[in-house]
Amino acid sequence: MYMENLTWDEFNEIKKKIDTVILPIGSVEAHGKHLPLGTDVFAPVEIAKRVEAKLREKGKEILIAPPIWYGHSFVLDVFPGTINVKADTLRRYVRDVMAEFAEEGFRKIILLNGHGGNYYPLVEAAEEVARRYNVEVWLINWWIDFREDILSICSSQGHAGEDETSVILAIKPELVKMEKAEGEKRTSKVRKIRKDIALELFPNGVNDDPRGATKEKGEAILEVISKKIARFILED
- Each residue 103-142 as x (binds Zn ion by CB under 5 A) or -, in order, gives ----------------------------------------
20-59 binders of Zn ion (CB under 5 A): 39-40
State the number of binding residues for Zn ion (CB under 5 A): 2
**Smallest gap, in angstroms, from Cβ of residue 199 to Zn ion?**
18
By beta-carbon proximity to Zn ion, the closer residue of 42 and 101 is 42
By beta-carbon proximity to Zn ion, the closer residue of 33 and 231 is 33
Helix axis angle for 215-235 and 39-57, nearest 10°, is 50
**Smallest gap, in angstroms, from Cβ of residue 40 to Zn ion?**
4
**Smallest gap, in angstroms, from Cβ of residue 164 to Zn ion?**
5
Pairwise CA distance, residues 205 & 159, whole Å: 8
**CA angle 223-91-148, nearest 5°?**
30
**Smallest gap, in angstroms, from Cβ of residue 55 to Zn ion?**
25
Amino acid at 145: D
By beta-carbon proximity to Zn ion, the closer residue of 20 and 39 is 39
Pairwise CA distance, residues 153 & 136, whole Å: 31
Q: Would you report the helix, strand and coil content of the chain in percent, each value rounded to 5?
A: 55, 10, 35
By beta-carbon proximity to Zn ion, the closer residue of 136 and 145 is 145
Question: What's the burial of 6, exposed, middle or buried (CB within 10 Å: 0-12/13-18/19+)?
Answer: middle
Closest of 195, 218, 106, 211 to residue 161, by C-alpha: 211
By beta-carbon proximity to Zn ion, the closer residue of 39 and 82 is 39
Residues lying near Zn ion in the complex (CB under 5 A) are found at 39-40
